[in-house]
């Protein structure tokens, strides 16, 4: 339903009010298309000339990576539903086929915009001395040098595969870049086709550097213009590029598995051979070859095949974005120490004496806060046990190293590893095996539920008895993403939270009695959704002209229908609702008579917004919560999540500051319209042109300087060398 037509629900003067059916499909936007709409905002960052050039190139690569994941997960899921004959309508009233058709249309529109942006960025890069040339454009001397590099370093890795009755159509791996070469048969009996896989990855770069520092040629173009090495004496008629995307949805039934580890390994093997959901071909590929590929791969040529102008697999532009040209990037931002923690010799004494501490990443260092907490827990002789949940972590994880160190010296260490973290399954299996070999008790969570919570739980023998310390966060224990994701965490020794975490880890290790008694925590799947809905209803009940209600949520996605419906009810009751939603949002704000009290913004900036904050005015007794869960059905009903209340006044003040700054962002914020589109805010003359993310970093630095003035000394190297 278009936004302007929504005015029809507003009654005319002297007419009775029209009752709104809050279950009607027209009030809910589609999950898939709203996520694609988010990628339009990502693409805009690549087009926005306020961003430095290489930052714009990075956003173009991010868009390409996002679209790959979209096809693997979302289109793959829709195709499975269609194949299974599912006709059930989505919350917004569409069949799986209708959703997929709408997605394909939006994808083609985005691809066209991406092509235009790519051409502009290529020209701007060339203007600034960064050239991506084709092989024929190189000088004879450069061609000779590149050819020799290719012969020495890449040529031995290539295995061309001819397709004929003796050589059937080869297996095409997921997201691989391939050459389709048409050759004339040496016996003169027609032509044959050969497939050549471009061997990128494993230390081989997509772009080969030429003699000049910032002059490159794509690897596939080098291979294509040196085919005489692969087919000596054979006439090459033409070559084209193609790439396939396979379905990533290959789950099997956990209930029927004897060993969850073996089941996940089987799923990974299945994924390698999963059905193909997309074929990308270079523009100009002959129709006969295009049709042959579609037929061999089992695809609908009209809907599943996408022509690509220019560079295929633009995700490899991350290589270009990493070029050493600081003049073409944002000024480097260094995470700083948390003002409360730096300079203090014992983190446990600090938490016990000062109370809970709020951490803000990437503005504050992950290494000197979270990693330090785990390191000290591993080495402190008074710490008896460490328990944690692990969803994703870095390839080289200091946190896991510290846990193994703790196990080696005899401490009890238990880790609940989520083996089914999408696209991190192999890494988590590897970590699980390594931890078990080093004496750590590894649990794979609860059958049927993903463990998505972010908790480190430490039991320490203090001077007055056993005390429970914890870190609870919104982001993964991943040092890499901690520099590019905006997340929150809390260090605490609150005894009630400690009791709740004891119950949580007993649940994770046994899978029994999910209806445990929690006094503060709101864990999913049994308590969180009920708790959020109850608080929304409480806000409605407490709302009045004298004490107006106010709800503010900051999250990655709003997809759950029940939460969306409850927020509509709050708006109808007069409660003001502010939502900061990064990508998917089913709710339609600004509809007269329904959601005119709702404001939805999305922030897209140099770091990925990933924190979750839930705020309720509660008749003046303000309530703040942070946690790992988005308002998505899967998070609320099919995962082990943790949302924790923030009680300390100084932490509440910090969360209020974050929400106010982001809601007032006029550089990186977009206002959602009632039809699901977005309008980017403009700074205006009197406003600070910096984004909320710039302000958050400035505030972290200001807090550290203020603490320094109070007498603390900054030790050498207190700023991280790694940049945001």
Place of tokens 């090495």: 229
The two three-digit tokens of residue 51, written as one number: 């961003």
Domain count, the chain: 3
In a domain, 476, yes or no: yes
pLDDT value at residue 719:
47
Residue with the larger pLDDT of the pair 490 and 704: 490
Instruction: Clarify whether residues 464 and 575 are in a common domain.
Output: no
Residue 303 sits in a domain of what CATH number? 3.30.1840.10
Strand partners, 592: none
The confidence band for 614, taking pLDDT boundaries of 50, 70 and 90, is: very high
Smallest Cα–Cα separation from 359: which of 502, 456, 424?
456
502, 518, 534 — which closes off a domain?
Answer: 518
Phi, psi dihedrals of residue 691, rounded to the nearest 5°? -85, 170
Residue 447 sits in a domain of what CATH number? 3.30.870.10
Instruction: Clarify whether residues 505 and 529 are in a common domain.
Output: no
Mean pLDDT to the nearest integer, 255-264: 54
- According to DSSP H, which parts of 73-218 are helical? 76-83, 96-127, 140-153
- Residues 2-23: tens digit of each pLDDT: 333 444 444 444 444 568 999 9
Instruction: Clarify whether residues 554 and 468 are in a common domain.
Output: no
In a domain, 71, yes or no: no
Beta strand pairing call for 383-390 and 357-361? unpaired
The confidence band for 424, taking pLDDT boundaries of 50, 70 and 90, is: low
Instruction: Judge whether residue 176 has pLDDT over 50.
Output: yes
Instruction: Clarify whether residues 488 and 578 are in a common domain.
Output: no
The confidence band for 514, taking pLDDT boundaries of 50, 70 and 90, is: low
The confidence band for 515, taking pLDDT boundaries of 50, 70 and 90, is: low
Instruction: Judge whether residue 476 has pLDDT over 70.
Output: yes
Cα angle 679, 685, 687 (rounded to 5 degrees) comes to 75
> What whole-number distance in Å separates Cα of residue 100 and Cα of residue 104?
6
In a domain, 292, yes or no: yes
pLDDT value at residue 446:
83
CB 519 within 8 A of CB 595: no
In a domain, 717, yes or no: no
> What whole-number distance in Å separates Cα of residue 546 and Cα of residue 372?
47
Instruction: Clarify whether residues 151 and 240 are in a common domain.
Output: yes
What is the distance, to the nearest Å, from the Cα of residue 694 to the centroid of all Cα atoms in its chain? Answer: 21
CB 310 within 8 A of CB 119: yes
Instruction: Clarify whether residues 372 and 301 are in a common domain.
Output: no
- Residues 308-338: tens digit of each pLDDT: 999 999 999 999 999 999 999 998 888 999 9
Instruction: Clarify whether residues 151 and 217 are in a common domain.
Output: yes
Instruction: Judge whether residue 567 has pLDDT over 70.
Output: yes
pLDDT value at residue 713:
47
Instruction: Clarify whether residues 466 and 485 are in a common domain.
Output: yes
Which element (helix H / strand E) includes 373?
A: helix 372-379
Q: Give me the DSSP letters along 26-65.
A: GGB--HHHHHHHHHHHHHHHHH-TTS-HHHHHHHHHHHHH
In a domain, 202, yes or no: yes
pLDDT value at residue 596:
96
Instruction: Clarify whether residues 303 and 362 are in a common domain.
Output: no
Average pLDDT across the chain, whole number: 90
In a domain, 492, yes or no: yes
Instruction: Clarify whether residues 427 and 294 are in a common domain.
Output: no
In a domain, 442, yes or no: yes
* Residue span of the structural domain in which 199 resides: 127-254+279-328
Instruction: Clarify whether residues 357 and 231 are in a common domain.
Output: no
pLDDT value at residue 6:
42
> What whole-number distance in Å separates Cα of residue 212 and Cα of residue 199?
24
Question: Would you please indicate which residues are annotated as catalytic (active-site) residues?
Answer: 452
Smallest Cα–Cα separation from 248: which of 452, 482, 71?
71
In a domain, 418, yes or no: yes
Mean pLDDT to the nearest integer, 120-129: 96
Instruction: Clarify whether residues 415 and 306 are in a common domain.
Output: no
């Amino acid at each position: 339903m278009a936004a302007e037509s929504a005015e029809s629900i507003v009654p005319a003067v002297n007419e009775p009010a029209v009752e709104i059916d809050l279950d009607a499909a027209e009030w809910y936007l589609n999950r898939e298309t709203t996520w694609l709409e988010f990628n339009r905002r990502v693409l805009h960052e690549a087009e926005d000339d306020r961003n430095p050039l290489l930052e714009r190139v990075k956003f173009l690569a991010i868009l390409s990576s996002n679209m790959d994941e979209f096809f693997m997960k979302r289109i793959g899921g829709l195709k499975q539903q269609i194949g299974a004959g599912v006709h059930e309508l989505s919350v917004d009233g569409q069949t799986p086929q209708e959703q997929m058709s709408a997605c394909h249309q939006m994808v083609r529109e985005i691809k066209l915009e991406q092509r235009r942006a790519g051409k502009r960025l290529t020209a701007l890069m060339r203007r600034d001395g960064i050239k991506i040339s084709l092989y024929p454009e190189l000088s004879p001397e450069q061609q000779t040098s590149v050819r020799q590099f290719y012969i020495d370093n890449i040529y031995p890795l290539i295995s061309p595969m001819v397709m004929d009755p003796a050589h059937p159509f080869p297996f095409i791996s997921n997201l691989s870049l391939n050459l389709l070469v048409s050759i004339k048969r040496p016996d003169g009996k027609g032509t044959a086709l050969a497939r050549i896989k471009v061997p990128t990855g494993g230390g081989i770069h997509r772009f080969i550097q030429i003699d000049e520092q910032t002059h490159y040629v794509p690897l596939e173009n080098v291979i294509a213009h040196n085919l005489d090495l692969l087919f000596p004496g054979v006439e090459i008629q033409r070559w084209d590029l193609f790439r396939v995307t396979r379905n990533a949805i290959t789950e099997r039934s956990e209930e029927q598995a004897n060993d969850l580890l073996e089941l996940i390994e089987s799923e990974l093997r299945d994924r390698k051979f999963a059905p193909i959901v997309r074929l990308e071909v270079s523009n100009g590929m002959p129709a006969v070859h295009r049709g042959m590929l579609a037929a061999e791969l089992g695809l609908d040529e009209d809907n599943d095949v996408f022509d690509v102008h220019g560079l295929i697999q633009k995700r490899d532009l991350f290589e270009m974005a990493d070029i050493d040209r600081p003049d073409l990037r944002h000024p480097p931002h260094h995470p700083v120490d948390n003002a409360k923690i730096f300079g203090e010799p014992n983190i446990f004494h600090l938490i016990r004496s000062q109370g809970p501490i709020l951490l803000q990443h990437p503005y504050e260092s992950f290494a000197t806060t979270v990693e330090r907490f785990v390191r000290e827990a591993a080495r402190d002789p008074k710490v008896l046990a460490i328990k944690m949940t692990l969803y994703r972590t870095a390839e080289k994880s200091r946190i896991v190293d510290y846990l193994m160190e703790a196990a080696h010296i005899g401490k009890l260490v238990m880790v609940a590893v989520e083996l089914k973290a999408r696209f991190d399954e192999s890494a988590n299996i590897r970590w699980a095996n390594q931890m078990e070999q080093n004496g750590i008790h590894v649990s794979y969570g609860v059958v049927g539920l993903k463990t998505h919570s972010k908790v480190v739980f430490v039991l320490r023998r203090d001077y007055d008895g056993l005390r429970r310390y914890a870190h609870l966060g919104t982001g993964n224990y991943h040092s890499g993403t901690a520099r590019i994701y905006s997340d929150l965490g809390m260090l605490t020794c609150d005894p009630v939270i400690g009791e709740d975490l004891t119950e949580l880890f007993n649940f994770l290790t046994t899978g029994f009695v999910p209806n445990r008694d929690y006094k503060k925590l709101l864990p999913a799947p049994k308590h969180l959704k009920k708790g959020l809905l109850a608080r929304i209803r409480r806000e409605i009940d407490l709302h009045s002209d004298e004490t107006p209600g106010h709800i503010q949520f900051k999250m990655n996605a709003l997809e759950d229908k029940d939460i969306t419906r409850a927020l509509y009810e709050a708006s109808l009751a007069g409660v003001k609702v502010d939502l900061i939603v990064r990508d998917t949002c089913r709710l339609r704000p600004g509809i007269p008579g329904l959601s005119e009290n709702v404001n939805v913004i999305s922030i897209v900036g140099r770091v990925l917004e990933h924190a979750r904050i839930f705020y309720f005015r509660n008749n003046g007794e303000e309530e703040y919560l942070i946690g790992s869960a988005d308002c998505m059905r899967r998070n609320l009903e099919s995962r082990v999540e943790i949302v924790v209340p923030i009680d300390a006044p100084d932490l509440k003040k910090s969360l209020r500051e974050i929400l106010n700054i982001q809601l007032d962002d006029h550089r990186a914020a977009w206002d959602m319209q009632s039809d699901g589109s977005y309008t980017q805010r403009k700074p205006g003359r009197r406003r600070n042109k910096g984004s909320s993310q710039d302000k958050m970093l400035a505030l972290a630095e200001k807090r550290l300087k203020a603490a320094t003035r109070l007498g603390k000394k900054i030790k050498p190297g207190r700023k991280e060398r790694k940049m945001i």
